[in-house]
C-alpha cells in the first residue's frame, strides 16, 4: 500500500497474523485476542532519526494502556512493553518503499496458553476485571490517538519532548543490563536516554557509552 501511494497515517489492522515478526526477524506470536496494526508514515525528519519512532510509539502504547486499564507498562528499550516483567506489546519500525512502517502488536485478551511463558496480556494482568482491557479495537484507537499527539510533537520539535516524557516509563534506569553490540557482549548499568534516543549505559569498566537502537539487543 505504501508503494502504491497510500497517504500518511494509513492504518492496517488485523484480528490475527499468520506471519507476524519482530526485530531481528524474530517470530511474533499473533493469536486471536490481540491488537495487531501497522501505520504508514512519511516523516519529514532526517533518516538517522527514524529509529526514534519506536520510542514515540512505545510512549503512546504505555500511556494508552494506563489510561484504559490503570496498568503501568514499563518500556524495555527500544521496542518492548512489559507488565510484571512479561512482554505485553512489541513495536517494529521499518523503512520501505519511500515510507516508514510502524508495526505494533499488543496482547489484549489473548489466552495465556496461546502465549509464550515470557508474555502476558492486558486481560491476564487485570485478573478479576479483565473487561477494562477487553476490546482490541478500543485499545488500537487509544494508541493511535496518543501516537498522533506525540508524532506531531516529534515532527515539529524532534526527540527532546519525547525524551522527557519517556523517562518515567523506562524500566531499565539504575538496573544492570546485558547487551550485545556486534560481536561484543557487555554488562553495565542503564543510566538514561541521550538526545538521539540512544541508551546510555555505564559499563562495568566505568566507561559511559551510548548504544544505538540498530546495534544493540537487550538480553535482560
> What's the CATH number where 18 sits?
3.30.930.10
Same domain assignment for residues 165 and 202: no
* Cα–Cα dist 101/53, whole Å: 10
* Cα–Cα dist 10/5, whole Å: 10
Which among 59, 181, 53, 35 is positioned nearest to 110, based on CA atoms?
A: 35
Same domain assignment for residues 48 and 156: yes
| pLDDT value at 101 more than 70 | yes
Residue 3 domain flag: no
**For residue 77, what are the domain limits?**
10-169
Residue 2 domain flag: no
Pair 58, 197: CB distance under 8 Å: no
Residue 217, pLDDT score: 57
Instruction: Please count the structural domains in the chain.
Output: 2
Same domain assignment for residues 188 and 162: no
Same domain assignment for residues 196 and 138: no
Residue 131, pLDDT score: 67
Same domain assignment for residues 197 and 159: no
* Cα–Cα dist 120/106, whole Å: 10
Same domain assignment for residues 195 and 123: no
| pLDDT value at 214 more than 60 | no
| pLDDT value at 165 more than 80 | yes
Residue 215, pLDDT score: 54
> What's the CATH number where 206 sits?
2.30.30.100
Over residues 102-132, the pLDDT tens digits come to: 999 999 998 888 888 999 999 999 886 666 6
The SS3 of residue 89 is strand
Same domain assignment for residues 109 and 91: yes
Over residues 54-81, the pLDDT tens digits come to: 999 999 999 999 999 999 999 999 889 9
Residue 21, pLDDT score: 74
| pLDDT value at 220 more than 70 | no
**Per the structure block, which three cell numbers stand in for 31?**
493469536
Q: What is the average pLDDT value for the chain, to the nearest integer? A: 89
Same domain assignment for residues 59 and 112: yes
User: Angle at Cα 92 formed by Cα 32 and Cα 26, nearest 5°?
Assistant: 70
* Cα–Cα dist 132/88, whole Å: 15
**pTM attached to this predicted model:** 0.91
Which among 199, 163, 151 is positioned nearest to 178, based on CA atoms?
A: 199
Question: Average of pLDDT values for 1-29?
Answer: 84
Inter-residue long-range contacts of 190-196, CB under 8 Å, 24+ positions, other chains counted: 190/77, 192/167, 193/55, 193/77, 193/163, 193/166, 193/167, 195/159, 195/160, 195/163, 196/48, 196/49, 196/52, 196/159
Same domain assignment for residues 130 and 182: no
Q: How far is CA 212 from CA 35, 182, 200, in A?
A: 28, 11, 9
Q: What is the DSSP letter of 79?
A: T
Pair 79, 162: CB distance under 8 Å: no
Amino acid at each position: 500500500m505504501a508503494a502504491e501511494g497510500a497517504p500518511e497515517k494509513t492504518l492496517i489492522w488485523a484480528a490475527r497474523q499468520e506471519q507476524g515478526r519482530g526485530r531481528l526477524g524474530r517470530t511474533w506470536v499473533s493469536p486471536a485476542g490481540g491488537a495487531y496494526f501497522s501505520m504508514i508514515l512519511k516523516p519529514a525528519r532526517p533518516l538517522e532519526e527514524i529509529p526514534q519512532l519506536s520510542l514515540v510509539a512505545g510512549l503512546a502504547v504505555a500511556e494508552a494502556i494506563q489510561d484504559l486499564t490503570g496498568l503501568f507498562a514499563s518500556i524495555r528499550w527500544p521496542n518492548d512493553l512489559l507488565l510484571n516483567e512479561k512482554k505485553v506489546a512489541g513495536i517494529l519500525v521499518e523503512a520501505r518503499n519511500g515510507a516508514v512502517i510502524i508495526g505494533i502488536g499488543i496482547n489484549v485478551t489473548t489466552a495465556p496458553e496461546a502465549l509464550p511463558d515470557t508474555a502476558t496480556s492486558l486481560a491476564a494482568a487485570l485478573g478479576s476485571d479483565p473487561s477494562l482491557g477487553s476490546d482490541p479495537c478500543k485499545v488500537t484507537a487509544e494508541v493511535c490517538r496518543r501516537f498522533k499527539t506525540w508524532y506531531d510533537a516529534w515532527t515539529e520539535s524532534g526527540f527532546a519532548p519525547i525524551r522527557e516524557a519517556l523517562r518515567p516509563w523506562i524500566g531499565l534506569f539504575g538496573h544492570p543490563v546485558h547487551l550485545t553490540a556486534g560481536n561484543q557482549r557487555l554488562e553495565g548499568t542503564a543510566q538514561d536516554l541521550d538526545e538521539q534516543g540512544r541508551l546510555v549505559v555505564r559499563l562495568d569498566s566505568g566507561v559511559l557509552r551510548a548504544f544505538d537502537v540498530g546495534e544493540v539487543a537487550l538480553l535482560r
